[in-house]
Amino acid sequence: MSKLVIFLITFLTISLQGISQDDYSGNTDLVIKRIHANIYSITRIQNDGMILYTGFLKSKKPLIKSGVFTFYSPSGHLAALGYYDNDILTGEWMFFKTKTDPSGMTDNNIPRIVDYDKVHTYMRNERLVKPVPIPITEVSPSYNGGDYRIEFEKYITENLIYPAFPRYEGIEGQVLIQFRISEKGEVREPAVVRSSHKDFTVEALRLIIEAPDWEPGIHNKKAVNDVINWTIDFRMQ
């Protein structure tokens, strides 16, 4: 992310900090203000007055996120920063974890950067012509040298990033996704069968697209295509 983009995001974020409580909507901790004809700012505020997130909308009924969104921890530290395009996660998102030193001082560490543009580019370029898989393989595909039902779940758990907006809104859900393991062990043609939230959809696709290769299924002593159906749960702990 360029210094110019970071500067613009910081400027927009700071400019939203001065919203008056007179602009509260019916929901007492949510502020939506019209900035221009089809541009709104949205801010969620804690009971103690601390801002939890700020962002921009192209519509408030229905609520369509479009523009920079900035999220803060309850203590006011930067938690996440990124962009929505027509209510879809896009571009580079930065996710911060805070750390506390022995003296009790809290600071942000180096952010984890996730590029959701890779998801959109992949889905545009991927050929979705799926070979008919072997109905029953003699040896099922495996992942990381073991039972994929165990090992691939570890990969999902270790790499899943809970999208900031549904987390801050207390939204949980799941995505049922289907993908093919090619005869070379490549993860191909991910397709979302069912999803409870758009942000979960994009994050689930990212996890599958970025997954390392598997060991392919075997039929008649040859590596073959196989299709995997996988459910990714988004649960707040």
Token pair 């093919």: residue = 180
Beta carbons within 10 angstroms of residue 133's beta carbon: 16
In terms of pLDDT, which residue wins out, 104 or 25?
Answer: 104
Specify whether the CB–CB gap between 69 and 58 falls below 8 A. Answer: no
Neighbours of 143 (CB within 10 A): 23
- Whether the pLDDT of residue 109 is over 70: the answer is no
Cα dist. 125→117, 188, 214 in Å?
12, 12, 21
User: What pLDDT score was predicted for residue 187?
Assistant: 92
Q: What is the pLDDT of residue 154?
A: 97
pLDDT of residue 133: 57
Q: What is the pTM of this model?
A: 0.83
Tell me what percent of the residues of the chain surpass a pLDDT of 90. Answer: 62
Enumerate the domain spans of the chain: 3-115, 124-234
- Which tokens belong to 204? 């689930």
Could you give the CA distance from residue 173 to residue 194 in angstroms, rounded to a whole number?
11
- 3-class DSSP state of 156: helix
Pairwise pLDDT comparison (15 vs 157), residue with the higher score: 157
d(CA 120, CA 151): 26
Mean pLDDT over each residue of the chain, to the nearest integer: 84
Q: Which CATH number describes the domain made up of 124-234?
A: 3.30.2420
Instruction: Write out pLDDT tens, residues 60-76.
Output: 889 999 999 999 988 88
At residue 137, the 3 state secondary structure works out as coil
Given a cut of 80, whether residue 8 has pLDDT beyond it is no
- Residue 49, token pair as written in the block: 């007055």
What pLDDT is attached to residue 27?
Answer: 42
Query: Which residues, at least 6 apart from 51, have a Cβ–Cβ distance to it below 8 Å?
Result: 16, 17, 43, 44, 45, 72, 76
Phi-psi region of 69 (alpha: psi -120 to 50; beta: other; left: phi over 0): beta
In this predicted structure, the answer to whether residue 136 has a pLDDT above a threshold of 80 is no
**HSE of 64, CA atoms in CB hemisphere, 13 A:** 9
- Please answer whether residues 134 and 226 qualify as being in contact, where contact means their C-beta atoms are separated by less than 8 angstroms: yes
pLDDT of res. 194: 95
